[in-house]
Amino acid sequence: MNKIEKKAQDFTVENLPFSDIESYLKLPTGKSYTEIKEQAEHLSIECSIPHEEALKYIFRANGFPSIENPADAIPQIIKFNFGINIKEFGLLKINGKLDGFCFIGSGRKWQYITYSLSTKKDLVKRLMRWLIGSQEQKTKTEKFLATVKKCINFIGHDFYSLPKNKNLDDVS
């Protein structure tokens, strides 16, 4: 694995179709997207309702309560899992050959990771692990900061100082 420090002369980003990533997605309740699809199929048959309606109910019950159209849930699920949208990650092609993957990382800058001798399937798997791991780490940091803020609010604000015109809510 190598990070590309400078841009290659002829590189492109191949965005992934949803079908390549759906098996890696989870909803806020922890259920996988593939489980949700199966549940919708069963609900559709058992209740004699359209599949789209069944999906809508299941998305609502699993962390997306405002969903009106199941297609609208897809971008939200991707953002929930990776912290970025589907156009902000993909496979890296250099001179027409798959050579790694890339994504928008911290600071909203593209990050390029090269892997030699990898198949498309292997690159997708590595990219998904990378994005999920990054999002989990970000979530842990945010949860830790939120916990510290709650403790400070509970204990009191007399033991720390912040720059002028700043309050605890501004700390990130």
Q: Is pLDDT at 8 greater than 60 in this prediction? A: no
More confident residue, 83 or 5: 83
pLDDT average, residue stretch 23-41: 93
Give me the pLDDT at residue 1, please: 45
Q: How far apart are CA 129 and CA 141, in angstroms?
A: 18
Full-model pTM: 0.70
CA distances from 29 to 52, 58, 63, 130 (A): 20, 11, 6, 21
| Three-state secondary structure call for residue 91 | strand
More confident residue, 137 or 134: 134
| Secondary structure class of 169 (helix, strand, coil) | helix
C-alpha 168: how far from its chain's center? 27
Which whole number is the average pLDDT over 79-87?
88
